[in-house]
Amino acid sequence: MQACKSNMLAIIEQTDVEHDCYMNNTAQFVMLILLKGCLDVGAVYLCYLKPLQSFLNMCSVSIVLVDLILLVFMSATLWLDVHTSHMALCFIMAHFSAAYSALPVPMFFLGILDYYLQWAGRKCFKLVRNTVLILLMWAIAGIYAHATVNSKLQELERSARYLVCEIQESQVVAYSVFALTTLVFFALLPYLPWIPQWVNEADRICKAREERTEAKTSDLLAEDITCTKEDFAMPRPSMHISLILGFGVFWIPYLAVTMLCIVLEFGIPAYISVNLLWVQCLNSLLAGTVFWLESDTVGPYCTLPDNVCLWQAYWHLSRGTEVNLLLPVTVFNPSKGKRSTPFYI
């Protein structure tokens, strides 16, 4: 594949008469989209995806469905004759890559809108609203693809004869990954000596919360609540550094691999780069931003959709909250003979 600005040339067939070499790459392109399907499954497992919880989660489901359609279409070309197969494959790849390349910008702004409405408490008709917006987004992407795509096979004569197809990359995905990686790297660079201890402390806090959740009884006496926080010699990170660290701990492998592809100038079609990992990384970015904005008023107990990043643990890491006092505790007042209102300690 040969990169050219936001477009690239995919080699579908290569013929070298001088060296008696012929290569048909149709099966390789089908395998590529099949590997993306496996990546989708892995992302669903890693991110504990709950489809109806947010707009971006519903976008993830829509991408899985469109990937499945793309896989069926591309697989069908394997049973056609060579000439028809190449024309059909070029048509499919060109249109789908153009449609996928149109998704990131509207997806980003609609994701912000969804989190804003969630933050403002306006959740009416959420499922219907998100479904309509996703259908509209894909419809606009399809119209854009139909209007801009060049799906004709091109023949190039160099040292060999090539049949190539012009497909689009997603520059938005590349720029966003570059920006996020740069932000995480330079934000955490001054704190490198303390990062291992901060991560270990956040893991300890998270495990302590889980153990308290499992061992928690229905009624607890106030005098039974004790503080057994371990000494933490290193300085604690500020809130924004702590949350950036929480984001980076989970997403740095994805960001690093994608950055490596960008630096080495690997051409990645838009229908590959716009995937569930990118969508969920964007989801974590927006969730972390909302968590940061809300944490000043409601602490770590803001009502956010489930997310893969451990925002609460990293909030406590920054504030230095005692491990035993991280969960809501219902205090029983024997003099009144009934439970008082639960409160957070």
Q: What is the DSSP string of 110-176?
A: HHHHHHHHHHTT--TTHHHHHHHHHHHHHHHHHHHHHHH-----EEEESSSEEEEEEEEB-HHHHHH
Average of per-residue pLDDT across 52-70: 91
Q: Where are the alpha helices (DSSP H) in the chain?
A: 26-46, 55-76, 82-101, 104-119, 126-148, 171-188, 195-215, 239-263, 270-273, 276-298, 311-319
Q: What is the DSSP letter of 54?
A: S
From CA 32, how far away is CA 16, in angstroms rounded?
24
Q: Identify the CA nearest to 323 among candidates 214, 225, 250.
A: 225
Query: Higher pLDDT residue, 97 or 42?
Result: 97
Give me the pLDDT at residue 155, please: 84
- Please report whether residue 149 resides in a domain: yes
From CA 74, how far away is CA 210, in angstroms rounded?
46
Residue ranges making up the domain that contains 67: 2-189+241-298
From CA 183, how far away is CA 12, in angstroms rounded?
38
| Range with the poorest average pLDDT among 47-51, 293-297, 313-317, 337-341 | 337-341
- Please report whether residue 339 resides in a domain: no
Q: 167 CB contacts (<8 Å, ≥6 apart)?
A: 7, 8, 9, 10, 93, 94, 97, 98, 269, 270
- On the question of pLDDT at 13 being above 70, the answer is yes
From CA 253, how far away is CA 39, in angstroms rounded?
14
**Each residue's pLDDT tens digit, 136-163:** 999 999 999 999 888 888 888 777 788 8
- On the question of pLDDT at 314 being above 80, the answer is yes
- On the question of pLDDT at 176 being above 90, the answer is yes
Q: Which residue has the tokens 């690997």?
A: 266
- Please report whether residue 345 resides in a domain: no
Going by pLDDT thresholds of 50, 70 and 90, the confidence category of residue 217 is very low
From CA 88, how far away is CA 326, in angstroms rounded?
58
- On the question of pLDDT at 338 being above 70, the answer is no
Give me the pLDDT at residue 177, please: 94
- Please report whether residue 197 resides in a domain: no
- Angle between helix axes 239-263 and 195-215 (nearest 10 degrees) is 120
Question: Taking a C-beta distance cutoff of 8 angstroms, is the pair 54, 305 a contact?
Answer: yes
Query: Higher pLDDT residue, 19 or 67?
Result: 67
**Each residue's pLDDT tens digit, 262-291:** 888 888 899 999 999 999 999 999 988 888
- Please report whether residue 201 resides in a domain: no
- On the question of pLDDT at 298 being above 80, the answer is no
- Please report whether residue 220 resides in a domain: no
- On the question of pLDDT at 221 being above 50, the answer is no
**Each residue's pLDDT tens digit, 68-84:** 999 999 999 988 888 88
Give me the pLDDT at residue 185, please: 93
What percent of the chain is predicted at pLDDT more than 90?
39
Going by pLDDT thresholds of 50, 70 and 90, the confidence category of residue 18 is low
- Please report whether residue 227 resides in a domain: no
- Please report whether residue 15 resides in a domain: yes
Give how many domains the chain has, as a whole number. 1
From CA 115, how far away is CA 61, in angstroms rounded?
18
